[in-house]
């Protein structure tokens, strides 16, 4: 269980990242933030593209930004959108979170301050994994 202030700060970072969402096609803005075991925070927002299919979700932007800076151990992932019920990671992001953030607490929130916590095993119980081919 993460300290409440640490969680609030990560949610605030995700909400701030959401402000940078590039979502001219859907109008749906999402922010994400990941916290590493050594306390670093990386953020992401969704970035849409005219092809639609090349759109990247906020969660994947945050995880890939972090990994490209050398981060590997993730303890918390925050996702903020303006929905109720809360927006969970999409299927593609669940695969990524399952592989790269398997132990992270996933905290969902909206702009009204509703907060819920999930585990990736609950959201994505049967992931594809390298053990299938190695
Ligand atoms: N999106 C995210 O960024 N994260 C989610 O968890 C769900 C969906 C984005 C992708 C797209 O830009 C928009 O929301 C609508 O699907």
Q: At what angle do helices 91-100 and 58-68 cross, to 10 degrees?
A: 30
Q: For residue 119, what are the domain limits?
A: 4-133
Rounded to two decimals, what is the model's pTM? Answer: 0.97
Asked if the model's pLDDT at residue 112 lies above 70, the reply is yes
What is the domain count for the chain?
A: 1
Long-range contacts of 87-91 (CB under 8 A, 24+ apart): 87/30, 88/118, 88/123, 89/57, 89/59, 89/123, 90/57, 91/124
Percent of the chain residues past pLDDT 90, beyond the cut: 99
User: In this structure, what token pair is assigned to residue 11?
Assistant: 């949610």
Q: Is the CB of 14 under 6 A from ligand 1?
A: no
Q: For the domain that residue 85 is a member of, what is the CATH number?
A: 3.40.140.10
Q: Is the CB of 21 under 6 A from ligand 1?
A: no
Query: 35, 71 in Cβ contact below 8 A?
Result: no
Q: What is the pLDDT of residues 52-79, one digit of tens each?
A: 999 999 999 999 999 999 999 999 999 9
Q: Is the CB of 77 under 6 A from ligand 1?
A: no
Rounded Cα–Cα distance for residues 92 and 23 (Å)? 18
**Residue of 85, 86, 88, 90 to mutate, ligand 1, most atoms within 8 A of C-beta:** 90
């Amino acid at each position: 269980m993460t300290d409440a202030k640490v969680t609030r700060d990560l949610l605030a970072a995700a909400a701030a990242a959401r402000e940078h969402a590039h979502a001219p096609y859907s109008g749906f803005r999402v922010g994400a933030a990941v916290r590493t075991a050594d306390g670093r925070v990386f953020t992401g927002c969704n970035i849409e593209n005219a092809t639609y299919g090349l759109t990247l979700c906020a969660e994947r932007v945050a995880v890939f930004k972090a990994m490209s800076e050398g981060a590997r151990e993730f303890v918390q992932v925050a996702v903020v959108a303006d929905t109720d019920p809360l927006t969970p990671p999409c299927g593609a992001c669940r695969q990524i979170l399952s592989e790269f953030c398997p132990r992270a607490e996933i905290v969902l929130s909206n702009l009204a301050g509703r907060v819920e916590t999930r585990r990736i095993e609950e959201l994505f119980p049967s992931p594809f994994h390298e053990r299938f081919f190695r």
